[in-house]
Amino acid sequence: MFIEIQTNSSVPIYLQLAQQLIEGIARGELKPGDSLPSVRAFAADLGMNMHTVNKAYHYLEEKEFIQIVAKSGVIIQPNGIPKATAEEQQRLAEQIRPLVAEGLVLKLSEEEMVDMVRELVQHIKEGSS
């Protein structure tokens, strides 16, 4: 699992890390029950602050994508991650909404945006950037 951080991005480092772990799960590279490195080891590995890795883990725990077992380790949700609730879908839609609006202003057609999503799905599943 390669993690690549853009230090000069406006996206916080902890979020970039969390998002890349999410992609790892989406891709099936990280499976239910798999364990993740300890905060300390991961931080050392990635050359970032322990707090930052910790924050990424807690972000994923809040979404129930992982389980943090104190003094033991971190594992991908072992029971599998349940299908999005209507609420979660709604929340996702609200986050995508301003981007779709911007696309429309930039004169992208509905089909072009749909294609963009389809391509993203493929890229994520293949692990290509």
Partner DNA sequence: GTGGTCTAGACCACT
Partner DNA sequence: GTGGTCTAGACCACA
**Where do contacts with a second copy occur on this chain (CB under 8 A)?**
7-8, 10, 12, 19, 22-23, 25-26, 63, 65, 67, 69-71, 81-84, 88-89, 92-93, 95-108, 110, 112-114, 116-121, 123-125
Comparing CB distances to DNA, the nearer of 9 and 90 is 9
Cβ 7 to DNA shortest distance, Å: 7
Give burial (CB, 10 Å; 0-12/13-18/19+) of 120: exposed
Rounded Cα distance between 37 and 128, Å, is 23
Q: For 92-105, give one letter per residue: b (16+ CB within 10 A) or e.
A: eeeeeeeeeeebee
Comparing CB distances to DNA, the nearer of 72 and 90 is 72
Cβ 115 to DNA shortest distance, Å: 30
Cβ 44 to a second copy shortest distance, Å: 19
Comparing CB distances to DNA, the nearer of 49 and 89 is 49
Give burial (CB, 10 Å; 0-12/13-18/19+) of 127: middle
